[in-house]
Amino acid sequence: MKALFLALLLIPLTGCTRTKAIEGEKVFQYEGGLHQPGRQTYKETPPVGGVHNSIWQHCGVYDRPIYNEHAVHSMEHGAVWVTYRPDLSQDDLATLNKLVDGRTYTLLSPYPGLPTPVVISAWNRQLQVNRADDPRLKRFLNTYELGKQAPESGSPCVGDASTSETQ
């Protein structure tokens, strides 16, 4: 019996649902709950976590840049932030709009100075891509929208939001 038990321990587990990493995904280690008024400096572009404003950004689609400090708070709540270069083609922008259509925990906004045409970010996660139709974008969104990586996943992403100057 003891030998059978030991043998079972050595058999590889099958049927486990282990998610493979998304190719090109970067992982970070920021703690949640760090609220501070005013503008903040972030290491990543766009940011993926850290100190942020106490007011979150209302999830939705924006045609102008939004404040990092509010978007980071929304990501702390489980939102995924899809950013794109302001000169992205209308066809590519339509592709991104379709990607987030019907989702309640997403932000979509232009972001000047991105390292690639499209960057998708969640709390402590980021993926940079060159095309709006890159299939990794949907996989990232499906994996991290309201994901366990967000310290306050499921907290509001609508309501007491800001689109104005950071307080």
pLDDT band at 161 (very low <50, low <70, confident <90, very high): low
- Whose structure tokens read 């949907």? 138
Write out pLDDT tens, residues 7-31. Answer: 433 334 333 334 678 999 999 999 9
Q: Say if 44 falls within a structural domain.
A: yes
Give the containing element (helix H, strand E) for 97.
Answer: helix 90-100
Q: By residue range, what is the domain housing residue 45?
A: 23-144
How would you classify the pairing of strands 125-129 and 118-122?
A: antiparallel
Domain presence at residue 103: yes
The span from the CA of 103 to the CA of 88, in Å, is 22
Residue 13 lies in a domain: no
pLDDT value at position 19?
60
Is residue 135 in some structural domain?
A: yes
Q: Is residue 55 part of a domain?
A: yes
In a domain, 17, yes or no: no
Alpha carbon 16 to its chain's center: 25
Domain CATH for 63: 3.40.30
Q: What's the pLDDT tens digit per position in 49-101? A: 999 999 999 999 999 999 999 999 999 999 999 999 999 999 999 999 999 99
Domain assignment of residue 15, yes or no: no
54-68 tens-digit pLDDT: 999 999 999 999 999
Predicted local distance difference test score (pLDDT) of residue 158:
86
Q: What are phi and psi of 160, to 5 degrees?
A: -65, 65
Q: How many domains does the chain have?
A: 1
Q: Is residue 36 situated within a structural domain?
A: yes
